[in-house]
Chain A
Amino acid sequence: MADWTERYRPTSLSELRGNDKAAGKLQEWADTWDDHREAVVLHGSPGVGKTSAAHALANDMGWETMELNASDKRTGDVIEQFAGRAARNATLAGSAAGGGAAGGDTESRQLVILDEADNIHGNYDRGGKSAITKLVKESGQPIVLIANEYYDMSRGLRNACQEIEFRDVGARSIVPVLRDICRREEIEFESDALQRIAERNKGDLRGAVNDLQAIAEGRDAVTLDDVVTGDRDKSMGIFPFLDAVLKEQGAEEALQSAYSVDETPDDLTKWVEDNMLTVYDADEATRAYDFLANADVWLGRVRASQNYSYWRYATDNAAAGVAAARDGEKGGWTRWGRPQFWPSSDKTADEVVRKVAAAEGCSMDIARRRVLPFLEAMTHHCKPKELTIRMAAAYDMDEAEVSFVTGSGESTNKVQGIVEAAQARREEAMEEHAEGAFAGVPTRESDDAGADGGAGGDERDAAAPTAAADDATGSSDATDDGNDADSDDGQSGLGDFV
């Protein structure tokens, strides 16, 4: 059974339902393309007929189409190849048509359709965004870009294109389409049923057609009852599910509900665990934790073994088990909270711990557990100030880090003053260190030179360091060395060092 959305795709713009205005604009864009030679962006919600409109237009104009979808890899290279192919095809078609008018006659055009133009992935489609912008600007062919979110496209691309918005298709426009399809498929229908399908799909024409097909499959009539039953097959939201497990349903029902929620068992367990204490009393909660602990252990086994059939045991525990732990039903309305799915990592804490670990020569774990608590106690609220400054200077801390250790507010004058003082101290130390280095370098070099030169005699090994330390004796010693050097090749350069 063919897909109805394909079978009943409009073949001409005039058959497009809803969005008459947009269709008109698109037609106008195509008619005047030779004058402006710009690309166009069709944007709007899924299922409102953007792709259909593009194909219908090509059909009306007698243009061939070339399509590049999100399922294709869309890196810079691929798009350039694609663009090249489009250009070549055009000339071939042009000469085949016998025009030879350098692609000038409209019959030989190719309509390039780039679906999901807002969805070019930065990493996977490396270089894709700029290649598309280039293609749009330089191509000699009409291009239709299709996007759900106009503003997700890069600004460069938006500026290079005309723009046509497709609005959601109202139920009033959807119902006639459904009715038409039913007639052509020879299916009897209740008007209310079609109305219900149209409303349920909120502006999504394609969704409505798919729905109709799913419900009508294997029947020769569509009634309102069929549609309502179909409703129940739709997935359950997480909040109704929490109501079911934590307040209303028994174990068996809760498990059925869990199957119809579109969440993985690990997320499901987190949702339940995170909200259970809001409604369960201590006794119930303790029993519920027995099951949640089981569920989590099974999730651990899934991860360790990659055997996903264990998931069912996690769901059994998190849904049926937790529901069974409850005494009776709970009433009232509860605001359910969203659990934290990823452990938050505190960058500031990690950074402080790393610095302390490096200075102390211990692991970060030891630094966090065995050193940081003392540091925190010693510099609590930045007192004593001197020690706090020393800490900030030694570990090169910024305001956030000082605030993390001392517990004083990050934006307070106290913390800022300490960071500034620490910075000043670091700079001072750096300068001192630099001077020390300059003072030290010649000493070391002459030291080395002395040692090298010392090959000639034992007493000079002792004399050379003195030369470095003391100028007066140094020069006389060096003269001695120099005299020796005259008779020894290896010492000729010694004078340079002094």
Chain B
Amino acid sequence: MDGPLWTEAHAPDLGEIRQDEARERLERAVDEPMNLVVQGPPGVGKTAATRALARETHADPDNDLIEINVADFFSRTKKELRQDPRFESFLAGRSRMAKRDMINRVLKESAAYAPMSGEYKTLVLDNAEAIREDFQQALRRVMEKHHRTTQFVITTRQPSKLIPPIRSRCFPVQVRAPTTDETMDVLATICDREGVAYDEDGLEFVASAAGGDLRRAILSAQATAVAADEVTMSAAYETLGDVGDDETIREALAAAQSGDLKDARSTLDDLLDEGGYGGPGLLRELLRVARAGSAYDGAQLARLHKLAGEADMDLSEGLDDRLHLTHLLASWAAGRETLAADFRDPVEA
């Protein structure tokens, strides 16, 4: 079944990967199966490259490519993990298990299965920067034990987070962020295949706005094509402004500035609750959106960033994200230089 997104429909085959060095290294792994670390910034196609490799090496890639997203494993509650259909069969009834035992079990069980076709299968650990060190030691053992039947591919943004014994067991494949020209080239290829009209300016706008994130560029182009049937600069500008929560976040900032903290707070509440943001993530977005428009001058932005540092500290120590973000907006709107004011004696006031 074809997915609706271009990122899936136009996922590259191994030969189509444009970064020569990465492609050559992966091609070496086809003839000579080995463990890999695929490293690179978000959205550049690490997973796509891994999938292309698996399609090339396995007769039955649907079954012999197993993807485990480590970030999902460590960012969710144990109950959510037990109920996730991907892990359900390994974890059913094991409510007492610690999280690291849970992922250990999923990993061992997946690694221990015999491949459906061919001699080995590929086990991908996505977003491996989320793996804590104690667990990496356990992982190293699993890698040793199952090296005959399982090829491990570890994809990560921060290879330095991997312990040396794991790095030394893996062949590094570097996927770098594509340049704007490279991104435009990818977009042109896809638009040609889809039969969507485009012009140079449109592609350049989309590509440079994505800032080296190929996924973002492709999805932006598709959103533009869906909305306007063509990828031109004005069409992209019109469409991409509406994507995401920027408008809502702008409203929260404006409400705080106008003194309506109640409204700001309830907007933040929606974003945290329904938008699924975490506190630090929403803080980053607040700053980005504040910077993006021309609503706030340099001094205001500088102050907001200064206060945000303190608020970020509170977020990491405290429990209630909404409380600290509301505090930040309130403090910023009040024109303060520090997040919390000096104590004011109510008797004198």
Contacts and interface: CB of A to CB of B under 8 A. Distances in A.
Contact of B331 (A250, A289, A425): A289
Nearest to B332: A286
Interface stretch (B4-12, B23-31, B138-146, B195-203): B4-12
Interface string A349-371: 11001100111111111101111
B4 A391 contact: yes
B100 to A, nearest CB: 18
A394 B126 contact: no
A374 B43 CA distance: 14
A73 interface: no
Nearest to B256: A282
B340 A349 contact: no
Nearest to A299: B319
A364 to B, nearest CB: 5
Most A C-beta atoms less than 10 A away, residue of B7, B227, B261: B261
B126 A290 contact: no
Contacts, number: 178
B219 interface: yes
B277 to A, nearest CB: 8
Contacts of A369: 281
A373 B320 contact: no
Contact of A277 (B84, B86, B265, B317): B265
Interface residues of B, number: 69
A407 to B, nearest CB: 12
Nearest to B4: A391
Contacts of B243: 373-374, 376-377
B318 A359 contact: no
A251 B239 CA distance: 53
B1 interface: yes
B259 A282 contact: yes
B222 A374 contact: yes
Interface string B251-275: 0000000011110010000001110
A227 to B, nearest CB: 36
A307 B334 CA distance: 35
A394 B71 contact: no
B47 interface: yes
A474 to B, nearest CB: 21
B71 A266 contact: no
B72 A286 contact: no
Interface stretch (B101-109, B172-180, B289-297, B322-330): B322-330
Contacts of A273: 320, 323
A300 interface: yes
A360 B242 contact: no
A251 B72 CA distance: 45
A287 interface: yes
A361 B227 contact: no
Interface stretch (B14-22, B162-170, B185-193, B341-349): B341-349
A297 B318 CA distance: 4
A303 B86 contact: no
Given A273-B323, A297-B317, A354-B84, A373 B1 contact: no
Interface string B273-317: 110100001000000000000000000000000000000001001
Contact of A363 (B51, B127, B260): B127
Interface residues of A, number: 68
Instruction: Name the residue in B5, B75, B223, B245 with the highest tally of chain A Cβ atoms < 10 Å from its Cβ.
Output: B5
B69 interface: yes
A343 interface: yes
Nearest to A430: B1
A358 B276 contact: no
A158 interface: no
A359 B330 contact: no
Contacts of B274: 346, 349
Contact of A282 (B1, B7, B327, B333): B333
A283 interface: yes
A326 B75 CA distance: 39
B319 A266 contact: yes
Interface string A158-193: 000000000000000000000000000000000000
A287 B7 CA distance: 48
Contacts of A393: 1
B219 A371 contact: yes
Contact of A285 (B7, B319, B330): B330
Given A277-B262, A374-B219, A377-B227, A343 B273 contact: yes
Given A300-B318, A324-B344, A359-B3, 15 more contacts: A289-B326, A292-B327, A293-B324, A294-B340, A296-B319, A297-B314, A304-B317, A354-B84, A357-B72, A363-B127, A364-B69, A374-B5, A374-B219, A388-B4, A425-B1
Nearest 7 interchain pairs by C-beta = A361-B47, A391-B4, A363-B71, A374-B219, A296-B318, A289-B327, A290-B340
8 contacts: A266-B319, A293-B339, A363-B72, A365-B72, A366-B43, A374-B219, A391-B3, A394-B4
Interface of B: 1-5, 7-8, 42-43, 47-48, 50-51, 67, 69, 71-72, 75-76, 80, 84, 86, 124, 126-127, 213, 215-216, 219-220, 222-223, 226-227, 239, 242-245, 259-262, 265, 272-274, 276, 281, 314, 317-320, 323-324, 326-327, 330-331, 333-334, 336, 339-341, 344, 346, 349
